[in-house]
Structure 1
Amino acid sequence: MPPSPSVLVLYRLKPAVLADLAGRYRLLDSHASPLPLDSFLVATAADDDPPRAAVVPGSGVVRIDAAFLDAVPSLGCVVSVSAGLNHVDLPECARRGVAVANAAGIYSADVADYAVGLLVDVLRGVSAGDRFLRRRRHEFLQPLIGSRLCGKRVGIIGLGSIGSAIARRLEAFGCVISYHSRRQKHNVSYGYHATALDLAAGSDVLVVACALTAETRHVVDRAVLDALGSGGVLVNVARGANVDEAELVRALAEGRIAGAGLEVFDDEPNVPAQLLGMDNVVLTHHQAAFTPEAMTDLDRLVVGNLEAFFAGSPLLTPVLEVFD
């Protein structure tokens, strides 16, 4: 019987998933090794049966770039557990013939739900009202002045699977949807804007749902925030660096926009101190995607992509380029 192919595991998989994979593959699990990552990669590359596929964590933990691929030159496939791919050098992977799969679609519904929740909270002051009541239970609760969601003009930056799911949910609230992406999508009826600046100028709410690339880093800058205006609200469920965070803090502090709902930041898990005292800002850690249902779906997808790769079949979620 031929030996089982080796798989490099850099993401902490559930024990049941590890057990399932261990029945079919030889797992080189970094979490079971006392070696630091650099030394671990050197050891796996020198193994008699070096890994042909790798399961890697999402953005910010391990960067899949030329240095990584040099360290493990046997890899033919990288399976990322995130939808975003700013941690993967796709051109370099393509140049070396390394296939890439991501978690496309797994998190879309949950992130879209969360984005709508952030927006409702900012507009209606749910979290602010909760804090007020807890601090001042002995006082009469003055109603917080908010704004209705129905009828709002919502601009979405990035109309991929997550942005589209957000759009469908907000349509049900009676919102008017428009969007900006790298190219116009002819299968939707939403208004298209060629630039984020134009989109912001015609929106009451701006939702950031695009991939983080060189082109979308700080796609929301001072000019875009000023175009959104003093009555506008920003929601970011993409990546912190999609927004110029320093400019966002200034815009909120100066009243140049009305509020924000944020679950991603430039330097996670750190949050700019000024934001913490603002009742018109709703802040959570990067958690929108992580429901039990999504994690179960992710487990199946990781296993399915590995099975497809080793069977010589098309990957379930192949990545050819970064879509928005």
Structure 2
Amino acid sequence: MPHSKPLVIVTRKLPDPVETRMMELFQTRLNLCDAPMSQDQLAAAMREADVLVPTVTDRIDAALIEQAGERLKLIASFGTGVDHIDLRAAKARHITITNTPGVLTEDTADMTMALILAVPRRIVEGSALIRTGTWTGWSPTGMLGHRIHGKRLGIVGMGRIGTAVARRARGFGLSVHYHNRRRVHPELEEELEATYWDNLDQMVGRMDILSINCPHTPATYHLMNRRRLGLMQPHAYIVNTARGEVIDESALVEVLREKRIAGAGLDVYEHEPQVNPELLALDNAVLLPHMGSATIEGRRDMGERVIVNIRSFADGHTPPDRVVETMF
């Protein structure tokens, strides 16, 4: 890099301790107002920066990368997913991409488990009764939901987060099933008492709860399409804390509205930040604002990973969290 301290441009407001440390270590340009950059602003930043620190809200496509200046050699993304970056175009321009894997595992798994509990037990509906003053007292048939103990949980994507969800699920008495590109190590399978399904269709049709924990890639786009959603049992629930694009949202609305599945818990959406208005009208959908990783500890850990990646790269070393296109 051309400077002893690389010019680092950050696209969104990060936690104060992270920004302070970046200011100490690098020539850093912060986004204090936290408004997402426009494509023109991103292009201008990429023409000037040595390092760009974007987030999932920044779409860095091939056209944008083509406009990058010669100085830009590292895109150190603040987040785990990299589906917002065209990895192939970056590779062609010899731009290294890093992310922040691992630091959000426990937080996202906690939120997944919270939705697994919230949807069958109708927690949001119950809270609304209290807040609207429409609760008339306890009743033997009031607010009946479903027990999760003893039910079958199907995990789609048994990576770090999927595994962490499985560990929590065992504590709640759920039977763990999973579908993954590759079967996990036998010792882990034994620890989790997990059943592997090579055929996703077969697993989907037999689960009581389905948890989406795989990344968004061309191979997983609309993995849960209309046909697969149609395989779910009428009493089954689906939870998604991964990426909205993995589920065909219009098809999901249809099966929820027609009660062909019992409910859904969503923290992510296909067209974020827009949420399908038809989803908002459904009382069998628990909807959260992409907050699965939103803990103070998690955000600080993410920032520390970004800093480590930048420092390693600036020192001429391979960053520990370098993303290779074939990984996704």
Scaled by the length of structure 2, what TM-score is found?
0.88
Match of 1:96 among 70, 74, 93: 93
Question: What SS class does the counterpart of residue 118 from structure 1 fall into?
Answer: helix
1:318 offset after TM fit, Å? Answer: 1.9
| Structure 2 CA distance for aligned equivalents of residues 194 and 296 of structure 1 | 37
Cα distance change on mapping 1:11 and 1:276 into 2, 3 Å = closer
Find the counterpart in structure 2 of residue 167 from structure 1.
166
1:28 offset after TM fit, Å? Answer: 4.1
1:92 offset after TM fit, Å? Answer: 2.4
Find the counterpart in structure 2 of residue 106 from structure 1.
103
Matched, 1:180 2:179: yes
Deviates more, 1:181-190 or 1:167-176: 181-190
| Structure 2 CA distance for aligned equivalents of residues 23 and 5 of structure 1 | 12
Mapping of residues 34-113 of structure 1, within 5 Å? 38=40, 41-42=43-44, 45=47, 50-58=48-56, 60-113=57-110
Find the counterpart in structure 2 of residue 315 from structure 1.
319
Mapping of residues 113-128 of structure 1, within 5 Å? 113-128=110-125
CA contact (8 A) 1:217 1:243 kept: yes
Cα distance change on mapping 1:31 and 1:134 into 2, 3 Å = closer
Aligned residue identity for 1:261: G
Aligned residue identity for 1:302: V
1:301 offset after TM fit, Å? Answer: 1.2
Identity %: 30
Find the counterpart in structure 2 of residue 21 from structure 1.
22
| Structure 1 CA distance for aligned equivalents of residues 111 and 219 of structure 2 | 25
Deviation track 1:49-94 (CA, whole Å, cap 9, x = no partner) reads x533221111x42315353243233222211111111111222223
Hey, which bits of structure 1, 4+ residues long, moved more than 6 A? none
Cα distance change on mapping 1:22 and 1:76 into 2, 3 Å = same
Find the counterpart in structure 2 of residue 150 from structure 1.
149
Deviates more, 1:122-131 or 1:15-24: 15-24
CA contact (8 A) 1:51 1:74 kept: yes
Find the counterpart in structure 2 of residue 214 from structure 1.
218
Cα distance change on mapping 1:297 and 1:3 into 2, 3 Å = closer
Mapping of residues 247-262 of structure 1, within 5 Å? 247-262=251-266
1:236 offset after TM fit, Å? Answer: 0.6
Cα distance change on mapping 1:44 and 1:221 into 2, 3 Å = closer
Deviates more, 1:244-253 or 1:184-193: 184-193
1:203 offset after TM fit, Å? Answer: 1.0
Match of 1:263 among 255, 263, 267: 267
| Structure 2 CA distance for aligned equivalents of residues 11 and 262 of structure 1 | 24
1:255 offset after TM fit, Å? Answer: 1.2
| Structure 2 CA distance for aligned equivalents of residues 174 and 249 of structure 1 | 29
Aligned residue identity for 1:77: L
| Structure 2 CA distance for aligned equivalents of residues 252 and 121 of structure 1 | 16
Could you list the runs of 5+ residues in structure 2 that have no partner in the other structure?
Answer: none
| Structure 2 CA distance for aligned equivalents of residues 182 and 115 of structure 1 | 21
Cα distance change on mapping 1:219 and 1:43 into 2, 3 Å = closer
CA contact (8 A) 1:78 1:98 kept: yes
| Structure 2 CA distance for aligned equivalents of residues 265 and 89 of structure 1 | 20
| Structure 2 CA distance for aligned equivalents of residues 40 and 211 of structure 1 | 24
Cα distance change on mapping 1:87 and 1:123 into 2, 3 Å = same
Deviation track 1:123-155 (CA, whole Å, cap 9, x = no partner) reads 111111121233345623432121111111111
1:321 offset after TM fit, Å? Answer: 3.8
Find the counterpart in structure 2 of residue 224 from structure 1.
228
| Structure 2 CA distance for aligned equivalents of residues 246 and 138 of structure 1 | 33
Scaled by the length of structure 1, what TM-score is found?
0.89
Deviates more, 1:87-96 or 1:200-209: 87-96
Cα distance change on mapping 1:7 and 1:222 into 2, 3 Å = same
1:169 offset after TM fit, Å? Answer: 0.6
Could you list the runs of 5+ residues in structure 1 that have no partner in the other structure?
Answer: none
CA contact (8 A) 1:30 1:37 kept: no
Find the counterpart in structure 2 of residue 129 from structure 1.
126
